[in-house]
Amino acid sequence: MQLPAQLTISPRLAKNIRRNVKERIIELILMMAALVAVATTFAIVGVLLYESLSFFKTVSVIDFFTDTQWTPLFEDAHYGIMPLVSGTLTTSAIALAVAVPIGTISAIFLSEFASHKTREIVKPILELLVGVPTVVFGYFALFFVTPLLQSIYPSLPSFNMLGAGIVMGVMIIPYIASMSEDAMRAVPMSMREGSYAMGATRFQTAIKVVTPAAISGIVAAYILAVSRAVGETMVVAIAAGQQPNLTFNPLDSAATITAYIVQVAMGDLPHGSIGYQSIFAAGLVLMAMTLSFNIFGHWVRKKYRESY
Amino acid sequence: MATVTTAIKAEARDLNFFYSNGARALKGISMPLYENKITALIGPSGCGKSTFLRCFNRMHDLYPGNKYQGEIVMHPDNTNVLDSGVDPIEVRMRISMVFQKPNPFPKSIYENVAYGLRVRGENNKRIMDDKVEEALKGAALWNEVKDRLHDLAFNLSGGQQQRLCIARALATDPEIMLFDEPTSALDPIATANIEELMVELRSKLTILVVTHNMQQAARVSDYTAYMYLGELIEYDDTDKIFTNPGRKETEDYITGKFG
Ligand SMILES: Nc1ncnc2c1ncn2[C@@H]1O[C@H](COP(=O)(O)OP(=O)(O)O)[C@@H](O)[C@H]1O
Ligand SMILES: [Mg+2]
């Protein structure tokens, strides 16, 4: 009489154990996948730091930040990062000046004014723009936008930060538009109804209620756009020039950090040489810049939250 | 009886309403709103109370495909607010609304109340300050917030947020105020506050309130309308509806035999 009872329990128990084991295995796989990403990040930071450390054994940190020339591969080598930083900041600033207003206005239009049908047509097109290889944008800047600008400023060099920055801006419009639109559409309808019920127009509702309600998402979109712009490589390498140049004038030609890195990485420098190590030092600066933009973004986001 | 001495502020005349999916949510509703009185709408969930209320300030215009049929006439000017030639924004400037869930804007307490004035183009700081204070006092919120007018409205409690929404609606001196189950998201104390407030506001304006709480209707309203399946079953003095309803359906609903 005891035997059947045991028999009914043990298959269930076995099933439980099997299920538990399966759960554990899945959990382990998921954790390993997450670990790969984390480990890769740490490895990158580690390599950057390690190679940079060797770099800074040869070059003083003070020189690195104060020297106004960056010529690590020349006979008369200078290791001042500022010319690359100025190129990076200038092109990024131009890109943002283009992308932030256009992207934000597009988002407001798409989310608050466009009919369902218009949105269904425009959004995929915007997202298609994201898929265009950046090389294409680079040549577009070099062979289309720059000649156009040259008809306004005849003295503009073929490689210049203005053309590259504008095209980079066009390139990041979809990020800002799409992410801001998502943030605005996530604003509950009850908030809009409250505004309309007060006698507000559609425009007033969009500007005075929906945009502030979505501001943290919109700022997040700007941060992503800054990171994209600062890290963007092909457009600036192709269209802004490759000569490091300490200038904030958009009409000049200059190199960015990323442009320098690809330029040097494509040549064959011996491991351990100072030129090779300079890539990592430049990369470290790039990472520090994106990181500080992110921190700044978080700070702005928090501040906005408290004051709207 | 009260009906003899008070004027009609607005009245629905043979009002039908169709949602964009073709559903007929209101069926030939005719009823008055008496001036400086509170009219309550009761009935089981889904009977069309909100749909009816939202016709008054043309909220249904926000969603394409909705259709009104019939009239809601405002007195003394005899404007049919549903007329396609009447600007819904004009209507909303005269008829304000408080929603079921408090929906303050992501702005400071002050800016929430000032919103309707700003939308109307008012920019004078002194006038604005006065109006904001008056509205907050009118909504019995002034003493609680006067020292933190520039705090974010989201930091207020639910009951305070709802009173803020009432202040917001009051600031523009509306003629009619619509309340859609204004206390259903609030605790009993906050509910009592809002009810008391509605009774006070009655002297200034005309109120239409949807409630699923029959005690609330009995406590605050002067007139009560019972709706069922998009139809107006009975409309009368609140006392009459709750003590001696004329229709069997109303009695069943009120006594809890149904609903
Ligand atoms: N946006 C809508 N589209 C179609 N039907 C709706 C919509 N909103 C409400 N309804 C329907 O209209 C009827 C009345 O709804 P509602 O006015 O919200 O009822 P109540 O406020 O009395 O609970 C219900 O049958 C509901 O399903
Ligand atoms: Mg309702």
Measured CA to CA, the distance from residue A4 to residue A2 in angstroms comes to 6
Residue B251 has pLDDT above 60, yes or no: yes
Measured CA to CA, the distance from residue B163 to residue B166 in angstroms comes to 5
Measured CA to CA, the distance from residue A47 to residue B89 in angstroms comes to 63
Residue whose Cα lies nearest atom 21 of ligand 1: it is B50
Residue A271 has pLDDT above 50, yes or no: yes
Measured CA to CA, the distance from residue A48 to residue B84 in angstroms comes to 68
ipTM here: 0.93
Tell me what pLDDT residue A4 has: 53
Report pLDDT digits (tens) over B149-187. Answer: 999 999 999 999 999 999 999 999 999 999 999 998 888
Q: Are B15 and B251 in contact (CB under 8 A)?
A: no
Tell me what pLDDT residue A295 has: 84
Cβ-based neighbour number of residue A78 at 10 Å: 15
Report pLDDT digits (tens) over B203-239. Answer: 999 999 999 889 999 999 999 999 999 999 999 999 9
Contacts of B184 (CB under 8 A, 6+ apart): B100, B212, B213
Instruction: Say what the alpha-carbon torsion angle B238, B239, B243, B249 is, to the nearest 10 degrees.
Output: -20
In the numeric block, the tokens 């009774």 are attached to B199
pLDDT category of residue A8 using cuts at 50, 70 and 90? low
Q: Which candidate from A196, A215, A305 shows the least CB-CB separation from B92?
A: A196
Report pLDDT digits (tens) over B70-97. Answer: 999 998 899 999 999 999 999 999 999 9
Report pLDDT digits (tens) over B96-106. Answer: 999 999 999 99
* Strand ranges of the sheet holding B176-180, from the earlier edge strand across to the other edge: B95-98, B176-180, B206-210, B38-42, B223-228, B231-237
Q: Which of A113, A117, A195, A198 to mutate to test the interface with B (most CBs of B within 10 A)?
A: A198
Share of chain B above pLDDT 70, in %: 97
Tell me what pLDDT residue A306 has: 44
Looking at per-residue pLDDT, the higher value among A83 and B4 belongs to A83
Length of chain B: 259
Residue B128 has pLDDT above 80, yes or no: yes
Q: How far is A105 from chain B (nearest CA, A)?
A: 20
Q: pLDDT averaged over chain B?
A: 92
Please say whether the structural domain A82-303 has been given the CATH code 3.40.50.300.
Answer: no
Which ligand is nearest to the Cα of residue B45, counting in written order?
1
Average pLDDT over residues B126-142: 93
Measured CA to CA, the distance from residue B161 to residue B204 in angstroms comes to 22
Contacts of B98 (CB under 8 A, 6+ apart): B162, B165, B166, B169, B177, B178, B179, B180, B182
For residue B180, the CA-to-ligand 2 centroid distance in Å is 7
Q: How far is B258 from chain A (nearest CA, A)?
A: 31
Average pLDDT over residues B111-130: 94
Delimit the domains of chain A by residue range. Answer: 5-58, 82-303
Q: What's at A160, amino acid-wise?
A: N
Q: Which letter, b or e, does each residue of B197-213 get, where b requires 16 or more Cβ atoms within 10 Å of its Cβ?
A: bbeebbeebbbbbbbbe
Average pLDDT over residues B118-131: 93
pLDDT category of residue A1 using cuts at 50, 70 and 90? very low
Q: Are B211 and B45 in contact (CB under 8 A)?
A: no
Beta bridge partners of A154: none
Q: Per CATH, which fold does B2-103+176-254 belong to? A: Rossmann fold (3.40.50)
Among B26, B50, B97, say which to mutate for ligand 1: greatest number of ligand atoms within 8 Å of CB.
B50
A219/B contact by beta carbon, under 8 A: no
Q: What's at A83, amino acid-wise?
A: P
pTM, entire model: 0.83
The helix/strand/coil state of A67 is: coil
Q: Cis (ω within 30 of 0) for the bond into B76?
A: yes
Q: Which candidate from A196, A201, A212 shows the least CB-CB separation from B106?
A: A212
Tell me what pLDDT residue B160 has: 94
Could you tell me which of B18, B20, B12, B71 has the C-alpha nearest to residue B41? Answer: B12
Q: How far is B161 from chain A (nearest CA, A)?
A: 13
Tokens of A111: 């989310």
Q: Which candidate from A188, A192, A199 shows the least CB-CB separation from B120?
A: A199
Q: Where are the alpha helices (DSSP H) in B211-247?
A: 214-220, 238-243
Q: Are A94 and A161 in contact (CB under 8 A)?
A: yes
Tell me what pLDDT residue A126 has: 85
Could you tell me which of B42, B14, B44 has the C-alpha nearest to residue B27? Answer: B14
Q: Which residues of B touch A207 (CB under 8 A)?
A: none
pLDDT category of residue B40 using cuts at 50, 70 and 90? very high
Residue A305 has pLDDT above 80, yes or no: no
Report pLDDT digits (tens) over A134-189. Answer: 999 999 999 999 999 999 989 999 999 999 999 999 999 999 999 999 999 999 99
Tokens of A5: 């009872």
Beta bridge partners of B237: B223
Tell me what pLDDT residue A142 has: 93
Sign of CA dihedral A270, A275, A277, A283: negative
Tell me what pLDDT residue A27 has: 92
Share of chain A above pLDDT 70, in %: 95
Pairing state between β B176-180 and B95-98: parallel
pLDDT category of residue A308 using cuts at 50, 70 and 90? very low
Pairing state between β B223-228 and B231-237: antiparallel
For residue B84, the CA-to-ligand 1 centroid distance in Å is 22
Residue A289 has pLDDT above 80, yes or no: yes
Query: Does A306 sit within 8 Å of B96, measured CB to CB?
Result: no
Tell me what pLDDT residue A304 has: 63
Query: Does B169 sit within 8 Å of A306, measured CB to CB?
Result: no
Phi and psi torsions of A200, nearest 5°: -75, 150
Query: Does B120 sit within 8 Å of A197, measured CB to CB?
Result: no
Q: Which candidate from B89, B104, B106 shows the least CB-CB separation from A201?
A: B89
pLDDT category of residue B2 using cuts at 50, 70 and 90? very low
Tell me what pLDDT residue B243 has: 92
Residue A307 has pLDDT above 80, yes or no: no
Distance of CA B64 to the CA centre of its chain: 23
Average pLDDT over residues B33-44: 95
Q: Which residues of A touch B89 (CB under 8 A)?
A: 199-201
Average pLDDT over residues A182-201: 94
Q: Are A96 and A229 in contact (CB under 8 A)?
A: yes
What separation in angstroms does the CA of A150 have from each of A137, A155, A158, A235?
18, 7, 8, 18
Residues flanking ligand 1, CB < 6 Å: B 19, 21, 23, 25, 43, 45-51
Among B19, B68, B231, say which to mutate for ligand 1: greatest number of ligand atoms within 8 Å of CB.
B19
Query: Does A196 sit within 8 Å of B59, measured CB to CB?
Result: yes
Q: What's at A12, amino acid-wise?
A: R
